[in-house]
Chains A and B, each alone.
Chain A
Amino acid sequence: MELNRRRFLGLTGAALGAGALGKPSRVSAARAYQPPPDAYGCLVDLSVCVGCRKCEQACNQVNHLPEPERPFDDLTVLDDKRRPGPEAFTVINRYYTGRRDERNQMAPTFVKVQCMHCQDPACASACIVGALTKKPNGAVHYDVDKCIGCRYCMVACPFQIPAYEYHDPLTPRVRKCTFCFERISKQGGKPGCAQVCPVEAITFGKRSELIKLARQKMVDDPGRYQPYIYGEKEVGGTSWLYISREPFAKMGFLKLPNQPMPHLTETIQHGIFSYMWAPLSLFALLGGAMAVFNRKRDQGEDKS
């Protein structure tokens, strides 16, 4: 009987182990998600940006965000590194990378930060109610009517973008760049920031076209750019893409794997729950064990 119990425990463990571990290879092929083929994107050319903060201002206006404490023409704001938050969906940060201009002065490089609108977003995979979704036009869209405020999206996001209204007691929202979902849904519409940029550092267009454009820029102006498009491959690709004169690592860009973030969790989840095979097998196994052990008891053999 001792042996029996061990064997059953062992079998149970093996079944669970297989459920938790054994499936990745088989199911990874079955992970059905495909990024939208016609997604829009934005290509940010950091070698052009002058750090005027006009994009921040436009973002504030089109999204009806509250007036900031310091006005948008106050460039001393750039003295600190900022992050997007509940009241600012995009911010410009200034970096000194060691590059010098023609007068041998330290030359600043400006980096626009906002939601990257991943092709295979971790937030959308994580969201318990599917309030975050990747739209065919490329936007990672937030539906406040579904949100319960669990903040798993914030845990999941590799770029640390979704921000939370922590001081709202009953109806806090997750806040992030919307990719101006309504505007780009209209013919000829552009995101507020891309529309306003006075130096055309932000190019809005089909993501696939933007990658070609980025390559063309590198060919047309040899030596101007790092031979790298940030966002082409990161976490399975992002709708926002960056090209730069200086190495990305010097300007707060994260080194991220090419594999989409939801890969492992979705592989495990779908591995265990495809046709509910794992729970049902475990149920059958335990049912069998119960029948065996309790039959013995009924026959008066229980010496436990």
Chain B
Amino acid sequence: MSAHSHAAPLQGKARFWSPGALVMAALAITGLLFVVGRYIGGLGAVTHLSQSHPWGLWIGVDVASGVALAAGGFTTAALAHIFGRHAYEPVVRPALLTALLGYVFVSLALLVDIGRSWAIWKPMIFWNPNSVLFEVAMCVMIYTAVLHVEFLPVVAERFAHGFKASLANRSWPVVALAEAAEGLLAFLNRNLGKVMWVFIIAGVVLSCMHQSGLGSLLLVAPTKMHALWYTPILPLLFLTSAIAVGFPMVVFENTLVSASFDLADEMGILSRMVRITILLLGVYGALKIGDVIARGVWPLIFDGSVQGRSFAVEVLFGIVIPWAMLLFPKVRNHRTPLFIAACMVVGGVVVNRMNVFLVAFQPPYPVQSYFPSVGELAITAGFIAALMLAYRFTVYFLPVLSPAGKEANS
């Protein structure tokens, strides 16, 4: 799969510490300080979690939205590698990187969120196959490993040759280690290609499983869920929304990255790609709207409650308007309107996940209503900033993006 790539590291083509990158670093450090606070004073010291609201912003955004927005990885892999649309190859690697980093940061966020961080390995030993969370955890864990394997050719491409040479003057253990690493990379690079198809398909299957699994999580608490979101097809809605948000997420990140590094964007590819989104987002929207009509709960949208309004925002600005926008070639073929439409789809999915995990969750004996604390917001912002820095770092030193596009286009 790597044979087609014209990807190259950006090192030397752009500067790493842009003003934006500095802001990200500041946010990440602020988040880190609050993480330290969490490990000194406990979750109670930095969050507004309570006995009635055990899950908050971190589950709704860092975990649930993070997983959904990483869907660009498996959807582009499916498009280019399984359905053989190789013209989309240039966006596969960046999407794969987003997914990889997304899952790493989902795991980090979970580590901070669970009370006994040091016990995070325990689900591998103590299985509860009845638990939806167990299934999600297993899939996320295996899929994160699969993503690393899928990303290996990128690392190999960069380091398989000349790694040792650059260390020629070092002492012998360093050289030996470099030699071993180089040998291993070369070996994997030679042989992984033959079995990569297994990992690519497994990645798609695992994604389908845990994307839908996340939607099943709250089905165990039917009496605590607002009727607008409590539906037996919630897993299907989570899956279809994740598939629908995949390509808009690629548009989102591609636009940001090409603006940040002053590269040519991939408008040709993106415009074509979002034509498929019309179908995918349409399926999700039809299921979502059909569901509230079929269950007869749609009048709740207009009852003036926070939940009703939140549902309206989610459907209107996250599905209906961007879907209608994408119907127009003028939107699809121009950078700014396409970016706006993509942002709305991405935002719509984030609002959906927050709605399901926070807004729809109505405990019978509320101690206090939940609103995220400064600490929760800072840690969430810090994780997102750190993810963007890690992305920047990776594309700077590894062949992920295809910067050749600029010369070709201009």
Q: Is the pair B42, A172 in contact by a Cβ cutoff of 8 Å? A: yes
A106 an interface residue at 8 Å Cβ cutoff?
A: no
What is the interface residue range for chain A against chain B?
A: 35 or more
Q: Is the pair B82, A293 in contact by a Cβ cutoff of 8 Å? A: yes
User: Which B residues touch A127, using CB under 8 A?
Assistant: 128, 131
A128's partner among B55, B134, B222 (CB-CB below 8 A) is B134
Which residue of B is nearest A281, CB measured? B205
B42's partner among A24, A125, A168 (CB-CB below 8 A) is A168
The smallest C-beta distance from B173 to any residue of chain A, in angstroms, reads 36
Q: Is the pair B239, A16 in contact by a Cβ cutoff of 8 Å? A: yes
Q: Is the pair B223, A158 in contact by a Cβ cutoff of 8 Å? A: yes
The smallest C-beta distance from A145 to any residue of chain B, in angstroms, reads 9
A249 an interface residue at 8 Å Cβ cutoff?
A: no
User: Which B residues touch A287, using CB under 8 A?
Assistant: 197, 201
Which residue of A is nearest B128, CB measured? A130
User: Which B residues touch A296, using CB under 8 A?
Assistant: 84
User: Which B residues touch A29, using CB under 8 A?
Assistant: none
Q: Is the pair A261, B52 in contact by a Cβ cutoff of 8 Å? A: no
The smallest C-beta distance from A14 to any residue of chain B, in angstroms, reads 11
User: Which B residues touch A172, using CB under 8 A?
Assistant: 42-43, 115-116
User: Which A residues touch B129, using CB under 8 A?
Assistant: 269, 273
Q: How far is it, in angstroms, between the C-alpha of A15 and the C-alpha of B294 when the chains are bound? A: 22
Q: Which of B195-234 contact A (CB under 8 A)?
A: 197, 200-202, 204-206, 208-209, 212, 216-224, 232-233
Q: How far is it, in angstroms, between the C-alpha of A17 and the C-alpha of B237 when the chains are bound? A: 10
User: Which A residues touch B223, using CB under 8 A?
Assistant: 158, 254, 256-257, 261
The smallest C-beta distance from B198 to any residue of chain A, in angstroms, reads 9
Main secondary structure of the interface of B (DSSP, over half): helix
Q: Is the pair B120, A169 in contact by a Cβ cutoff of 8 Å? A: no
Q: How far is it, in angstroms, between the C-alpha of A5 and the C-alpha of B127 when the chains are bound? A: 38
Q: Is the pair A152, B86 in contact by a Cβ cutoff of 8 Å? A: no
A264 an interface residue at 8 Å Cβ cutoff?
A: yes
Q: Is the pair B201, A269 in contact by a Cβ cutoff of 8 Å? A: no
Which residue of A is nearest B87, CB measured? A304
User: Which A residues touch B209, using CB under 8 A?
Assistant: 272, 278-279
B172 an interface residue at 8 Å Cβ cutoff?
A: no
B131's partner among A8, A152, A165 (CB-CB below 8 A) is A152
Q: Is the pair B84, A297 in contact by a Cβ cutoff of 8 Å? A: yes
Known contacts A16-B239, A261-B222, A286-B201, A148 near B120 by CB under 8 Å:
yes
B164 an interface residue at 8 Å Cβ cutoff?
A: no
Q: How far is it, in angstroms, between the C-alpha of A269 and the C-alpha of B283 when the chains are bound? A: 23
Q: How far is it, in angstroms, between the C-alpha of A170 and the C-alpha of B44 when the chains are bound? A: 12
Q: Is the pair A149, B233 in contact by a Cβ cutoff of 8 Å? A: no
- Report how many A-B pairs have Cβ atoms within 8 Å: 216
B165 an interface residue at 8 Å Cβ cutoff?
A: no
Q: How far is it, in angstroms, between the C-alpha of A290 and the C-alpha of B220 when the chains are bound? A: 36
Q: Please, how many residues of chain B have a CB less than 8 angstroms from a CB on the other chain?
A: 77
User: Which B residues touch A257, using CB under 8 A?
Assistant: 222-223
Known contacts A266-B130, A268-B235, A283-B201, A83 near B220 by CB under 8 Å:
no
Q: Is the pair B367, A126 in contact by a Cβ cutoff of 8 Å? A: no
The smallest C-beta distance from A4 to any residue of chain B, in angstroms, reads 9
Q: Which of A1-36 contact B (CB under 8 A)?
A: 5, 8-9, 13, 16-17, 19-21, 24, 33
User: Which A residues touch B131, using CB under 8 A?
Assistant: 125-128, 130, 152
User: Which B residues touch A157, using CB under 8 A?
Assistant: 221
A131 an interface residue at 8 Å Cβ cutoff?
A: yes
Q: Is the pair B221, A147 in contact by a Cβ cutoff of 8 Å? A: no
Q: Is the pair A304, B201 in contact by a Cβ cutoff of 8 Å? A: no
Q: Among the interface residues A24, A257, A266, A304, which one has the most CB atoms of the partner chain B within 10 A?
A: A304
Q: Which of B240-287 contact A (CB under 8 A)?
A: 240, 279, 283
Q: Which of B81-131 contact A (CB under 8 A)?
A: 81-88, 113-120, 122-123, 126-131
Q: Knowing that A9-B279, A169-B38 touch, tell me 18 more A-B residue pairs with CB under 8 angstroms.
A: A13-B283, A20-B212, A20-B235, A21-B236, A83-B51, A130-B126, A151-B49, A151-B114, A156-B220, A160-B365, A168-B115, A172-B116, A265-B130, A269-B135, A283-B201, A286-B204, A286-B205, A290-B197
* 9 A-B contact pairs sorted by A residue (CB < 8 Å): A124-B130, A125-B130, A130-B128, A155-B361, A164-B43, A169-B39, A254-B364, A279-B205, A290-B201
Query: Which B residues lie at the A interface, using CB under 8 A?
Result: 38-45, 47, 49-52, 54-55, 78, 81-88, 113-120, 122-123, 126-135, 137, 197, 200-202, 204-206, 208-209, 212, 216-224, 232-233, 235-236, 239-240, 279, 283, 361, 363-365, 367
